[in-house]
Structure 1
Amino acid sequence: MSQTRPRMTNLFEQLGLDSSEASIQKFIETHQLDADTTIVQANIWTESQRQFLAEKLSSDGEWATIVDQLNESLHEDSVK
């Protein structure tokens, strides 16, 4: 079992994405989702990334909280 404390940077690393603060912010700004698209349905992920996100969400553990935070960030424009 991994002892990595889930954080947004860790999530981006697990997804194989640049995990610098600036890159995370840019990713969120440039990949906003409409209100009807769930984070797992978004076409911005590879199949393995999609499976990872779905698995973490369904686990309802610490990682689910971080995925939820990313989900909220990706939907910021849809609730303004």
Structure 2
Amino acid sequence: METGHHTLNDLFAQLGLGSDNEAIEDFLTRHHLSGEEKLAGAAFWSDSQRKFLREAILADSDWCEIVDELDVLLRH
């Protein structure tokens, strides 16, 4: 198990997405969450991405904080 502080770039790499700043900005521009929509329930995730996001939150893992940050960013 990894420990330590993860960045948004680390999270995108873990999810198998482009993880440079430009790719992250592009993703955030194209994808949004609305109302009570749960992050892991969004249609734009693959099954494995959805599983990772759910487990990160449920297990209160060291990814939890950056996953929460992603949730906030997708609501802007």
Q: Above 0.5 in TM-score?
A: yes
SS, match of residue 33 in structure 1: coil
Match of 1:54 in 2: 54
Residue 64 in 1 paired to residue 64 in 2? yes
Distance 2:37 2:61 in 1: 23
RMSD (Å) for aligned C-alpha atoms? 1.3
Match of 1:6 in 2: 6
SS, match of residue 41 in structure 2: coil
SS, match of residue 60 in structure 1: coil
Distance 2:42 2:49 in 1: 11
Runs of at least 4 residues of structure 1 off by over 4 A? none
Distance 1:49 1:12 in 2: 10
Q: Which ranges in structure 2 are unaligned for 5 or more consecutive residues?
A: none
Instruction: Output one character per residue of 1:35-74: Cα deviation in whole Å (capped at 9) or x when no partner.
Output: 1211011001000000000000112233110000000000
* Equivalences, count: 76
The alignment's TM-score, normalised by the length of structure 2, stands at 0.91
The alignment's TM-score, normalised by the length of structure 1, stands at 0.86
Q: 1:4 Cα shift?
A: 5.9
